[in-house]
Structures are given as structure tokens and as C-alpha cells.
Amino acid sequence: MPARASFLIPFAVCCIGVALFSVMDAAMKGLSLAIGLYNALFWRAITGTLLGLGLMLVTRQRWPDRAVLRLHMLRGSVVALMAGLFFWALMRMPLAEAIALSFIAPLIALYLAALLLGETIGRQAIGASLLGLVGVGVILSGRLAGSYDRDALLGALAVLASAVLFAWNLILQRQQAQRASPIEVAFFQHFVMLGVFAIGAPFFARLPTASSIPLILLAAGLAFTSLAALAWAYARAEAQRLIPVEYSAFLWAAMVGWLAFGERLTLNTAAGAALIIAACLMTARGKRATIAHVEPGTA
């Protein structure tokens, strides 16, 4: 198969995966507002785990060795906390703004890679980080100027905290690369998240209402499918060629947020997102995009 043709299929799958993640974020926002954040995460994790278990059995996936299993458990735990912060924020701020702020994660991952993997941070990466911080400042300036309420500002801070965890998730994902199939990755992420959320089940879990069940099924199906799609795409094409696709999540989030929740895209959000994306692309060129994909819908 020609090189161009062999890239087009992973490229298309990556585009679909990013779009599905954005729709999943909207579904989780609506579900969290309807039945509460904990129950939205808990029931999505149950549904995703059952779906993944069925696929693991049907496709006869092998059980991971001890080292890979430890990696699954660590990454799933990190993603559980990351998802809690991110979706808590989504209940308080527009989708597009939350996605834009979360794009700072790959820049944070550069410093975590230096700390955890011993990588060297070059001047271009440092300059890109400063540009990314300017982008974050531009987005937050609208909130600090009083255009938004205090609750929404707390949501923005929660997204930034989630981005730190997501940066750690990117490092773990690099270590996980080529060691597990897309179905295995998606199953264990949901399974470990379910284990984390189950701790609070005796106190917070409630049976979902009949009207919320379709949203639970939709969110779980979209999360599992998009996770598997991106894992499949990144296993078959260079990250440096796919990373730019991930920033289309901002456009999807703006469109879905407007259609589903009537959210308006502000100039501050668009300008800040452009600066952060430019910073990430600068880093990708300098580092040959060795960091894995950046869409926070990995939650």
C-alpha cells in the first residue's frame, strides 16, 4: 500500500476518534447535570467495563503480564481523578473553554518527561511553554475581569489541575505504547476507574433514572469507541503527523456546546486556544512529537 494511502486510514480514524470524544464530553456534561457527577462517572464506568469485557472475551484478548497490569492500574487511577476534575469543571463552564485550557497538558508533560524519564528540555520547548502560559492567561483574563461568576473560575482552575494529571497520563501512555491492544487499553481503563469510583458507591451511588439511561449508554459507548480508535490510529501512524488533528477538538467542542447547551464562544477563549495550540505545535516540531495524543477525552 502506498505511504500516502497507508496514512489516510489512521488519519481518518483519528479524526473520528477526536470528534467522538467531543460528543462524549457533551454527553457527560448533560449526564452530570442530570444525575450528579459521581453517578455519571460511576455508571459510565460500569457500562464501559461491561462493554470492554464482552469485547475482550469475543476477541480472545490475552491477559496482560504483571508489569503491564501495574501500568493499567496506575494509569486508570490517574485518569479517574483527572476525569472527576475535568467533568466537575464542565458542569461550570463552556465546553470549548474547558477543552482549550486542557490543551496545556502536553506542555506540562515536557517537564514531567524531564523529571520522570530524564529527558532534556530544549530552548524551543521552554519558549513554547511560555507562549502556552500566555494563552492560559488570555483565557482566564475573561474570568478575572468579572465577565464570569466565581463558580466558573473555580471550574477553570479545576481544568488546569486536571491538565497536570493528564500530562502524567501522557507519560504513562508513552510507557504503555505497543504493549497492549486498543481493546485491552480501553477495557482496563474503565475497569480500574470503576474500582476507584466503587469506593464511594455505598454512600453516593443511586440507581439512574429511566431518562438518564440513554445518556449513560451513549457516553460509555463513545468513550470506549474513541479510546480504541485513537489507540488504533497512534499504533499505525507517527504521532507527529496525527497530533495536529487533535486540536480540532476545540472546533467540535465549540459547535457541540452551542448546539446542546447554547454556549457562546468568546474572543478570549478563541485567542487563548490559538496561542496554546501554536505552542504545542512548536514543541511537536522540536521534539518530533514523541508525546502521545493530547485529547483529554481519554477520560
Among the residue ranges 21-25, 184-188, 228-232, the one predicted with the least confidence is 228-232
Going by pLDDT thresholds of 50, 70 and 90, the confidence category of residue 16 is very high
Domain ranges of the chain: 7-298
In sign, the C-alpha dihedral spanning 42, 44, 45, 49 is: positive
Kindly report the average pLDDT of the chain as a whole number.
84
d(Cα 98, Cα 76) in Å, to the nearest integer?
A: 21
- Cβ–Cβ < 8 Å for 291, 174: yes
Tell me what pLDDT residue 1 has: 52
Alpha carbons within 13 A on the beta-carbon side of 264 = 5
pLDDT in tens, 18-34: 899 999 999 999 999 99
3-state DSSP call for residue 141?
helix
pLDDT class of 289 with cuts at 50, 70, 90: very low
pTM for the model: 0.85
DSSP 14-67: HHHHHHHHHHHHHHHHHHHHHH-HHHHHHHHHHHHHHHHHHHHHHTTPPPP-HH
Does residue 73 surpass a pLDDT of 90? yes
Using alpha carbons, select from 122, 163, 137, 116 the residue that is nearest to residue 284. 122
Q: What is the mean pLDDT of residues 162-187?
A: 81
Place of cell 499505525: 236
Length of the chain: 299
Q: Looking at residue 148, what is its pLDDT? A: 55
Model pLDDT, residue 293: 52
Mean pLDDT in residue range 262-291: 77
In the chain, % of residues over pLDDT 70: 86
User: Stretch 231-245: mean pLDDT, rounded?
Assistant: 76
Query: Do residues 140 and 100 lie in contact, with contact meaning Cβ atoms separated by under 8 Å?
Result: no
Q: What is the pLDDT of residues 99-139, one digit of tens each?
A: 998 888 877 877 777 777 676 777 777 787 788 888 888 88
pLDDT confidence band for 7 (50 / 70 / 90): confident
Whole-number pLDDT of residue 62:
87
Is residue 92 within 8 A of residue 155, CB to CB? The reply is: yes
